[in-house]
């Protein structure tokens, strides 16, 4: 697999993983109030965001399995955690979240870790 194709694949994986996390957030918000009765369960089971999250999770799994056939496993595994950074940035940009200095440091550490693994990997 060409390096540019692999990078595009990982960007797609991060995008799909980010979508899954956001869909679960929206599904969770729509599941409120939490009552643990039959009507609540029926409402949750019919929630479109939950179906979207499940479909996205299946797509992310297939993308990841395709990528690790030819990608070095260290950077491949680490890159899957970039969705944490992407979800954080989405939350700031669209949901009104405010970043703390510790969150910024954590996001930078994740990105730095992925870059270090990608630059030092000898390949498979």
Please state the length of the chain.
Answer: 124
C-beta of residue 85 within 8 angstroms of C-beta of residue 105 = no
pTM for the model stands at 0.83
Rounded to whole angstroms, the Cα distance separating 88 from 110 reads 12
C-beta of residue 70 within 8 angstroms of C-beta of residue 10 = no
For residue 123, pLDDT beyond 70? no
pLDDT digits (tens, 9 = 90+) for 9-45: 888 999 999 999 999 999 988 888 888 889 888 888 8
pLDDT over 90 percentage in the chain: 52
Rounded to whole angstroms, the Cα distance separating 53 from 21 reads 7
Higher pLDDT, 53 or 31: 53
Rounded to whole angstroms, the Cα distance separating 58 from 83 reads 16
């Amino acid at each position: 697999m060409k390096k540019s194709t692999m990078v595009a694949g990982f960007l797609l994986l991060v995008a799909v993983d980010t979508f899954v996390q956001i869909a679960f957030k929206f599904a969770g918000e729509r599941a409120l109030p939490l009552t643990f009765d039959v009507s609540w369960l029926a409402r949750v089971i019919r929630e479109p965001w939950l179906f979207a999250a499940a479909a996205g999770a299946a797509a992310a799994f297939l993308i990841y399995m395709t990528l690790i056939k030819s990608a070095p496993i260290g950077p491949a595994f680490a890159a899957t955690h970039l969705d944490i950074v992407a979800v954080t940035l989405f939350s700031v940009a669209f949901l009104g979240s405010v970043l703390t200095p510790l969150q910024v440091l954590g996001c930078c550490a994740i990105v730095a870790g992925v870059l270090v693994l990608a630059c030092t990997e000898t390949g498979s």
